[in-house]
Amino acid sequence: MRDIVFTRQSGWIPSVVREDGELKLMLGAGADANHEPRTFTFPISEAHLGVIREDLARHLLLWSAVLPLCDAAGTRGRLDENAAVTLLDPILLAAPADVDALFRRIPWDKGRLIAHGADIGLLERGRMCAAMRTATETSNGQRAQEYRADRRRAARGTVLGPLDAAILKYTGQYLHGATVPRRMPDAADPALLPEVMRVIATADRACAGMRIGRDPRRGKRATDKRDWSRMETTVEAAVRREHPGLADDAVRTVSFLMCSEAADRSRNTPMEDDEEAAGHRADFGGGARKTALSFTDDKGVERKWLRSGPRSATAEFWEFVGDRSAADNEVFTIEDEEMGEGIQLHFYADSIARITTLREGDGRSDPEYRVEYGLVDGIGGYRKLVSAFARGGCAALEQHGPWMLDVAEFERARRRRDTR
């Protein structure tokens, strides 16, 4: 039989219970193998209960000191009750100087005390009882998170000024740099918000008209790394030029915000519009030459495109690539069977082959092909080549050379490029 004798407003602060006539401190900490919270208890006296009732600071200090023992118990071990009991008198009943001395010798959970309002400067100087004069029964978990984030920055030599911190909070990246940034004016210090907005305006102007295209080679929602890097460099240069006092963390979070927004716009754009934005003219209507194309991948999957359909050949092809491309599926072919020509894209090597039929097979002999190889400069280069082929076939690719017939010559050129 367990009866609650004393509990505080916050459900996580340890409670006092009576179990089979014995007073015990009960707290939840950690989790078991099934990720369910664990509950620990250990015996206390009436004198300890009296202090716990009347002195929030000592109650929180005891909690902070017991938590490492709970962590040591792991997912299924038992709490070291003897070690927990030995903490009671030195924390609850001893003089403040002795409490401070004890905490210099034992492990304790600093984040828990910070979340409950402890003075961080006094905590770091080891003045535990003085630090807890500002303690509150309610918890502010974000305060502890911000402290840990500041400690991580300090470990790599970064100290934020007030405007730097306001910018990071505006983008939602103050606590975690890997968080996808957003525009959150309410999160920034209101007094600094006008300055924050001036920095954001600088970034907006710097990348106006720039875009981050999609890269279907890496999936349907992947974006072009080169476009991202180009926008990132442009924004960071402009922000550093106009706001030279900002810390690197603040500058990077602004460029991350701009790039993330541009990438999202691209991902949510229909493939046809994405092609137009990338500067490649649609290849149906208006004198377009191709009327039917066949797309295949390295797994033998095929998709047909007809000019009479609702979508452009390039949009249809890149959607096919986005659907099918994978680490073991990086060779894609576009073929015009009627004209006897096609291109083969080698994504793993940033290269392409254009193939033309010189002589059709007649049953007694195999067909004869002319195969020429070229190097490709990233997804932008692939887009230009695919668009040109869809408009005018292999002849339209001539200007995008050089084209090499000799495989050995091509491999040497590829190695020279890859070692630059």
pLDDT-derived band at 43, boundaries 50, 70, 90:
very high
Q: 314 or 220: whose pLDDT is higher?
A: 314
Per-position DSSP letters for 282-346, written without gaps between them: --SSTT----EEEEE-TTS-EEEEETTSSS-HHHHHHHHHHHH-BTTB-EEEEEETTTTEEEEEE
Structure confidence at residue 330 (pLDDT): 96
Q: What is the CA radius of gyration of the chain?
A: 33
Please state, for a pLDDT cut of 90, what percent of the chain lies above it: 80
Structure confidence at residue 129 (pLDDT): 97
- Tokens 């030195």, residue located: 90
Lowest model confidence (mean pLDDT) among 101-105, 113-117, 412-416: 412-416
Please state, for a pLDDT cut of 70, what percent of the chain lies above it: 95
pLDDT-derived band at 286, boundaries 50, 70, 90:
very low
Structure confidence at residue 36 (pLDDT): 85
Distance (Å, whole) CA 335 – CA 125: 73
User: pLDDT per residue over 361-372, tens digit each?
Assistant: 776 778 888 999
Tell me the three state secondary structure of residue 23. Answer: strand
Residue 315: φ, ψ to 5°: -65, -40
User: pLDDT per residue over 6-21, tens digit each?
Assistant: 999 877 899 999 998 9
The reported pTM is 0.77
Structure confidence at residue 282 (pLDDT): 43
pLDDT-derived band at 290, boundaries 50, 70, 90:
confident
Lowest model confidence (mean pLDDT) among 41-45, 209-213, 289-293, 304-308: 289-293
287, pLDDT greater than 60: no
Distance (Å, whole) CA 324 – CA 121: 56
- Tokens 């303690």, residue located: 135
76, pLDDT greater than 90: no
**How remote is the C-alpha of 403 from its chain's centroid?**
40
Contact 40, 27 (CB under 8 A): yes
Among 144, 90, 88, CA closest to 113:
144
User: pLDDT per residue over 238-258, tens digit each?
Assistant: 999 999 999 999 999 999 999
Among 99, 71, 72, CA closest to 87:
99
Residue type, 202: T
User: pLDDT per residue over 257-283, tens digit each?
Assistant: 999 999 999 888 777 666 665 655 444
Residue 261: φ, ψ to 5°: -65, -40
Question: Residue 67 gets which letter from DSSP?
Answer: H
User: pLDDT per residue over 163-194, tens digit each?
Assistant: 999 999 999 999 987 789 999 999 999 999 99
User: pLDDT per residue over 334-375, tens digit each?
Assistant: 999 989 999 999 999 999 999 999 888 776 778 888 999 999
Structure confidence at residue 371 (pLDDT): 96
Structure confidence at residue 272 (pLDDT): 66
145, pLDDT greater than 70: yes
